[in-house]
Amino acid sequence: MTPQADDQVICIIGAGYVGLVTAAGLAEAGRQVKVVEVDADRRAAVAAGISPIFEPGLDELLSAVVASGHLRAVETMSAGVAGAGIVIVAVGTPPTHDGEADLSQVRQAVDQALGEVAPGAVIAIKSTVPPGTTRALARGSSRKDVAFVMFPEFLREGSALEDLRHPSRVVVGGEDMAAVRRVAALLGGPDTTRLLCDSVSAELVKYGSNAFLATKISFINEMAQLCELTGADIEHVADGMGLDPRIGRSFLSAGLGWGGSCFPKDVRALETSAGYHGQSFWLLKAAIEVNSQQRRRFTAKLLQGLGGSLEGRRVAILGLAFKPFTDDMRQAPALEVVRQLEDLGAIVVATDPVALARARPLLPGTSLVDDPYDAVTGADAVGLVTEWPVYRELDWGRVFAQMRGRLVVDGRNCLDSRAITGRGGIYVSMGRRTRGLPETTPGSASEAATASVPPVPLG
C-alpha cells in the first residue's frame, strides 16, 4: 500500500549548497525530511550528521537533526519520496556551452520521482530553471495526480541558514493554487511576506533578482573606473548613492565583481533565454562584460605596480573562495586572476582559510599554503582577492618584513590603507587613488586628503 502524501514528510533531491541547507532548516522546524543524494560520499557525510560543505552553523544543525531522526539521507528515490507530500528538487542546473541552464539533472530527478511519488504529492522545483520549465514539466508529466510548483531559493552562501530561517520573502509559483499554498507554508512565519503567483513569474523572480543584483554590482564597478579616471573615491560615491533608500548601500561594493555558483550562471542563462525569445537583453550583456574586465583590471594593477612585467615576479594572492565564509570555488574570481598572472609569467603563491581543498584540483600548478605569512614571504606584491576578516587583521609590519616588495593591491577595498602605508607599503585599490607613493607622484593621494569623514548627523 503506497503511503499517502503527508506534508509533514518532505523529500529533498540533491544535498548541495541549497538542498542540504533547506533540508536541515525544514528538519529543524520539525518536519520529517529525507534527502536523496546520488554522490555516495556526500550521502554518507549527511547520514553521519557531517556537512560536506562549509556553511556556518550547518555542521551543528545537521548533527542535531540527524541525531533527532528528523533528517535522513537515503539512497533510493523510492525511499526518499515514500509518504512525502512535497518533493523539493534542488539538483544542479549548470550552464551549457551557450549559457542556457542544463536541465538534464532536473528532468532525471523529476522522472525518477514521478515513478514513485504518492498521489496528491507536489513536486517543488527549487533549482533555478528558465522561464516556462515548471509548466512544461507539468504538461509532460503522465501523473496528473501530482502538481508542480516553482519554489525559488534566495540563500546567500555564508549566511544561508539565516536566510532560510528568516526569509526576506517566500515566492511560490504554480498553476494549482492549492499546491502553491501547501509549499508556501513550508518556510517563514506569520510575518513573512509571501508571493503566490504563476510558475513563469516565479521563475523570473529568481532570475530577475540575481540578474539585477549582478547588474547593480557591475554598475558600481563602472563608476569605480570613472572614479579612478577623475580622482574620486568610489567608497564615498557608493556611500552617497546608498543613502538613497531607492538605491540602498548593499551590493554597491566595487571590486573584483561577482562569482559563485549562481550569479554567473543565472545572468548568462537569463541572457540566453531572452535570446531564445527574440530579445537582446543588452543590460545583461554589458553587466557580464564589465564583470569579466574587473578581473583584468585587478591583474593590470599588479602588472603596472611591478613596473610593467610579471615575468618571474612572486605574487601572493590572499583569498580564493568566491566570497568569504564559504569554501565554494565555483566561478571564483581568484581562478581567473591566478590564471592571468601565471600567463604573464608570475609565480603565484595563494592562500585561503577554508577553500584550499576545493581549490587545489582547480589550480594544479599553483603553490597553495595555509598561512598568509608564508604566502607573502619573498613576494614582490600582494593581491587581496577575497575579503576574509583574517586578512584585514594582518600585521603589515611583519608582512613587509617578509616581502621582497611593498605593493598591495586590494581587490575588495577591504584593507586598512593606513596600516599599509604607515609601514611603508604602497596601497592600490579599485576605484580609489593609490596611497603610499611619494606625494609628488601623479595620481597618488595622501591619507589625509582622502580620509572618509564620518557623516555628521544633522538636526
Structure-derived torsion over alpha carbons of residues 179, 183, 189, 193, reported in degrees to the nearest 10: -70
Q: Which is nearer to ligand UDX, 251 or 373 (CB)?
A: 251
Q: Which residue has the cell 610579471?
A: 310
Binding span for ligand UDX by CB under 6 A among 23-31, 84-92, 426-434, 451-459? 84-92
Give CA–CA dist 22/154, Å, rounded: 11
Sign of CA pseudo-dihedral 348, 258, 61, 85: negative
Q: Which is nearer to ligand UDX, 51 or 261 (CB)?
A: 261
Q: Which residue has the cell 533547506?
A: 22
CA angle (297, 303, 304) in 5-degree steps? 90
116 binds ligand UDX (CB under 6 A): no
Q: Which is nearer to ligand UDX, 42 or 406 (CB)?
A: 42
Q: Which of 11, 227, 262, 414 is catalytic?
A: 262
Q: Which is nearer to ligand UDX, 102 or 342 (CB)?
A: 102
Residue in 169, 26, 36 with CA at minimum distance from that of residue 91: 36
Q: If residue 361 lies in a helix (H) or strand (E), which one and from where to where?
A: none
Q: Which residues pair with 6 in a beta bridge?
A: 84
143 binds ligand UDX (CB under 6 A): no
Among 24, 31, 37, 358, binds ligand UDX (CB under 6 A): 37
CB of 398 to ligand UDX, least distance (A): 27
Give CA–CA dist 85/11, Å, rounded: 8
Among 66, 91, 147, 350, binds ligand UDX (CB under 6 A): 91
CB of 458 to ligand UDX, least distance (A): 27
**DSSP reduced 3-state for 196:** strand
Give CA–CA dist 42/20, Å, rounded: 10
Among 72, 107, 156, 418, binds ligand UDX (CB under 6 A): 156
Q: Which is nearer to ligand UDX, 313 or 323 (CB)?
A: 323
Q: Which is nearer to ligand UDX, 130 or 425 (CB)?
A: 130
Residue in 335, 369, 334 with CA at minimum distance from that of residue 353: 369
Binding span for ligand UDX by CB under 6 A among 130-138, 253-261, 270-278, 337-345? 253-261
Q: Could you tell me how many residues of this chain bind ligand UDX (CB under 6 A)?
A: 42
**DSSP reduced 3-state for 32:** strand
Q: Which residue has the cell 541552464?
A: 101
CB of 64 to ligand UDX, least distance (A): 21
Sequence-distant (≥ 6) Cβ neighbours of residue 458 within 8 angstroms: none
9 binds ligand UDX (CB under 6 A): no
Q: Which is nearer to ligand UDX, 55 or 380 (CB)?
A: 55
Site for ligand UDX in 305-324 (CB under 6 A): 322-323
Binding span for ligand UDX by CB under 6 A among 17-25, 134-142, 239-247, 337-345? 17-25
Q: Which is nearer to ligand UDX, 92 or 372 (CB)?
A: 92
Q: Which is nearer to ligand UDX, 244 or 439 (CB)?
A: 244
CB of 105 to ligand UDX, least distance (A): 4
Binding span for ligand UDX by CB under 6 A among 8-16, 194-202, 227-235, 362-370? 8-16
Give CA–CA dist 377/322, Å, rounded: 24
From residue 178 to residue 217, the character string flagging contacts with ligand UDX as x (rule: CB under 6 A) and all else as - is --------------------------------x--x---x
Residue 262 among the catalytic residues: yes
Among 81, 155, 183, 381, binds ligand UDX (CB under 6 A): 155
Cα Rg, the chain, nearest whole Å: 24
Give CA–CA dist 363/350, Å, rounded: 10
Binding span for ligand UDX by CB under 6 A among 123-131, 186-194, 338-346, 375-383? 123-131
Residue nearest to ligand UDX (CB): 16
Give CA–CA dist 8/282, Å, rounded: 45
**DSSP reduced 3-state for 80:** helix
CB atoms within 10 A of CB 441: 11
CB neighbour class for 395 (10 Å; exposed up to 12, middle 13-18, buried from 19): exposed
How many Å separate Cα 162 from the centre of its chain?
Answer: 15
Among 9, 11, 12, 18, binds ligand UDX (CB under 6 A): 18
Site for ligand UDX in 400-429 (CB under 6 A): none
DSSP 8-state symbol, 360 = G
Give CA–CA dist 28/68, Å, rounded: 9
Residue in 248, 238, 289, 291 with CA at minimum distance from that of residue 432: 238
From residue 255 to residue 294, the character string flagging contacts with ligand UDX as x (rule: CB under 6 A) and all else as - is x-xxxxxxx-------------------------------
Q: So which residues are the catalytic ones? A: 262
Where does this chain bind ligand UDX (CB under 6 A)? 13-19, 37-39, 42, 90-93, 105, 108-109, 126-128, 153-157, 210, 213, 217, 251-253, 255, 257-263, 322-323
